[in-house]
Copies of this chain bind each other. A is one copy, B any other.
Amino acid sequence: MSVRHSDVFDLLRDGEPRTRAQLAELTGLARSTVSARLDALMSLGLVVPYGGVSTGGRPPSLLAFNPSARVVAGIDLGATHATAALADLDGRVLAEHTDRLDIALGPDRVLGWVEQAIHRLLGERPEDGRDLAAIGIGLPGPVEHSTGRAINPPIMPGWDRYDVPGHVQRAFDVPVLVDNDVNVMALGERHAHLPDVDDVVFIKVGTGIGAGIISGGVLQRGAQGTAGDLGHVFVARGAEVSCRCGNQGCLEAIAAIPALAARVRDAGVEVSHDHEVVALVRGGNPHAVQAVRQAGRDLGEVLAALVNLVNPSVIVIGGSLAVAGEGLIAGIREIVYQRSLPLATEHLSVVPSRAGGLAGVTGAAALAIAHVLSPDAIDHAAVAE
């Protein structure tokens, strides 16, 4: 409620440069108050003179947000890969690095990789070294967002309730924000490609199936942080199929990559690693193509319910199975447009992810930036200066 440093800053975040007089008029604050706030923001480097220092003639000096003031790290940890990136405060990726890495190696080894990757990226850009402001991390399991801990994650042995922020902060003394990987991908896709769309659902289809739900521009985590758990919704066609979660009939048990690989094997095709099914689809193997189309229809059954309940305007399909081609999305559309309400589907698009492999790190960086540039954080930093 009080006059905050962030009040002046919020105006400048759109990137448009403004004079002190304009800022005073727009905020209704006294010139002296605006000057005090700007001094604090400039000492933090978040606001800088725009267009260089003037020499004579005293034109009105413009001030602007400086997205290069700090960098953040965005970390995307999948079941079998890890990507780390540095981004500026606009979320632009400055450098990134990917390795194959099994999340089941446990927190010590995986978070050790995270530390090394950030050090290495900062080392490639020594000018950014002192400026790391925060770290965002996406984990492939349910995360208690308030504490940054994974809770009963099915594919992450050794991670249950592990203090991820505490571990990472031993190496980097900055805020560490942790969320579920699909939530983070939803933030990344929206940040990079759908900034003006307020109701976006991002679906990841890979080893598992999950959704990140953004409604009214806000990521929906739900009461316990488990919102968007699409993979364990019941689908009648799978009623007899057991899921690793202990239930029967879960979407994931019939439509994720392991289930598809099993179906293609049953048809007599040799598949040594489950993920080869993606290449088989792209190569036009008829069994694989048919299996992916059916997975799209099964996913469509659950997405039809999601469309009725959540009413998004864009559904983005991402994850490793999404790159297998149009069959998956065609199957989804077939069922969703048939099953959901006309008013809900009239303006609905179902599209492939454009952020692709960078959705995770972009979203993790966006999570870190949202924290660094939050009103509370800015006021706190301005007072500490």
Measured CB to CB, the residues of A under 8 A from B are 1-4, 7-8, 10-11, 26-29, 142, 151-152, 198-199, 211, 213, 215-216, 218, 220-230, 232-234, 236, 239, 245, 247, 301-302, 304-306, 308-313, 339-344, 346-348
13 A-B pairs with C-beta separation under 8 A: A1-B10, A2-B7, A2-B27, A199-B222, A215-B222, A215-B227, A222-B344, A229-B308, A233-B308, A233-B309, A234-B305, A247-B339, A302-B305
List the B side residues contacting A27 at CB < 8 Å: 1-3
- Nearest chain B CB to A300 CB, angstrom units: 11
List the B side residues contacting A232 at CB < 8 Å: 308, 340-341
Tell me whether A311 and B221 are in contact in the complex, defined as CB-CB below 8 angstroms, given that A229-B341, A234-B339, A236-B236 are known contacts: yes
List the B side residues contacting A236 at CB < 8 Å: 236, 239
Are A309 and B213 in contact, CB atoms less than 8 angstroms apart? yes
Are A309 and B152 in contact, CB atoms less than 8 angstroms apart? no
Are B304 and A306 in contact, CB atoms less than 8 angstroms apart? no
**CB nearest neighbor in B for A24:** B2
- Nearest chain B CB to A137 CB, angstrom units: 19
Are B309 and A310 in contact, CB atoms less than 8 angstroms apart? yes
List the B side residues contacting A213 at CB < 8 Å: 309
List the B side residues contacting A220 at CB < 8 Å: 215-216, 220, 310
Number of this chain's copies in the assembly equals 2
In the assembled complex, the Cα of A211 lies from the Cα of B228 at a distance in Å of: 17
In the assembled complex, the Cα of A220 lies from the Cα of B311 at a distance in Å of: 9
Given A222-B312, A223-B312, A230-B309, 11 extra CB contacts under 8 A: A1-B26, A2-B28, A151-B343, A199-B223, A215-B215, A228-B309, A229-B341, A233-B308, A234-B339, A247-B339, A309-B310
Q: Do most interface residues of chain A lie in helix, strand or loop, or is the interface mixed?
A: loop
**CB nearest neighbor in B for A304:** B234
10 A-B pairs with least C-beta separation: A222-B311, A2-B28, A236-B236, A223-B313, A199-B223, A227-B311, A229-B308, A233-B305, A226-B344, A226-B311
Tell me whether A226 and B1 are in contact in the complex, defined as CB-CB below 8 angstroms, given that A236-B236, A341-B245 are known contacts: no
Choice from B28, B233, B245 contacting A304 with Cβ under 8 Å: B233
Are A218 and B216 in contact, CB atoms less than 8 angstroms apart? yes
**CB nearest neighbor in B for A2:** B28
In the assembled complex, the Cα of A229 lies from the Cα of B28 at a distance in Å of: 44
Are B199 and A142 in contact, CB atoms less than 8 angstroms apart? no
In the assembled complex, the Cα of A54 lies from the Cα of B305 at a distance in Å of: 61
Are B342 and A152 in contact, CB atoms less than 8 angstroms apart? yes
Are A152 and B310 in contact, CB atoms less than 8 angstroms apart? no
Choice from B7, B309, B346, B348 contacting A229 with Cβ under 8 Å: B309
- Nearest chain B CB to A306 CB, angstrom units: 6
Choice from B218, B225, B311 contacting A218 with Cβ under 8 Å: B218
**CB nearest neighbor in B for A28:** B2
List the B side residues contacting A233 at CB < 8 Å: 304-305, 308-309
List the B side residues contacting A229 at CB < 8 Å: 308-309, 311, 341, 344
Are B198 and A223 in contact, CB atoms less than 8 angstroms apart? yes
List the B side residues contacting A302 at CB < 8 Å: 305
List the B side residues contacting A211 at CB < 8 Å: 309
In the assembled complex, the Cα of A186 lies from the Cα of B254 at a distance in Å of: 35
- Nearest chain B CB to A237 CB, angstrom units: 9
In the assembled complex, the Cα of A346 lies from the Cα of B152 at a distance in Å of: 13
- Nearest chain B CB to A347 CB, angstrom units: 6
